[in-house]
Amino acid sequence: MDVMEVLAHPVRLRVVQALAGGRVLTTAQLCERISEVHKATVYRHVAALADAGVLEVDGEHRVRGAVERRYRLRERVVIDAGTVAAMTPEDHRRTFATAMAALISEFDAYLGLDGADPVADEVGYRQHVLWLSPEERAEMIAELRAVIVARMTNEPEPRRRRHLLSPILFPVETPPPDAGARPAS
């Protein structure tokens, strides 16, 4: 099973998100973080991620006679440009739907936390329409990437909370046939 296929499930995406940022967790701890999913389902998906090489065992210890493993992400999961280019429109639909299902589950879990306060936490889910040339789009993506990557190495500390940021960008219409033409002066 390739990485795209492995990650094409909302529970597996949530496991990966829970372990992102250098976290090391047991399957029991993952079950606590994804409490609305049946424990057997979480265990099955952790095993699938480990079998695919996305997760690795960081250590193990005995708990009441059973071996409990601690997992971490093997490395940052990156889907290369070639893989994305080879995806069909249906692959993109399925992958996007999976990502949205995982995002909805994460947001629902956040709202279920004691003391969840979307106003105080500055929760945002806005949409903005931007008119961008291909060059402007590339420049904006590079700027956003630089801002995000600079913060991905932040370590946990008492005043920091983990946040989930999911930028989504796609064109919403095709350019008119004369989009490349310059207006007459």
3-state helix, strand, coil in the chain (%, to 5): 45, 10, 45
Residues recorded for the chain:
185
Looking at residue 109, the DSSP 8-state letter turns out to be H
Neighbouring-strand partners of residue 60: 69
Enter the pTM of the model.
0.71
**CATH class given for the domain over 3-114:** mainly alpha
Q: Which of 84, 123, 90, 129 is nearest to 107 (CA)?
A: 123
56 touches 18 (CB < 8 A) = no
Rounded to 5 degrees, φ, ψ at 25 are -135, 150
Model confidence pLDDT, tens digit, residues 65-111:
888 999 999 866 667 788 889 889 998 988 888 888 888 888 988 99
Of residues 147 and 162, more confidence is placed in 147
Going from N- to C-terminal start, the domains of the chain cover 3-114
Model confidence pLDDT, tens digit, residues 106-148:
898 899 889 999 999 999 999 999 999 999 999 999 999 999 9
- Residue 35 above 60 pLDDT? yes
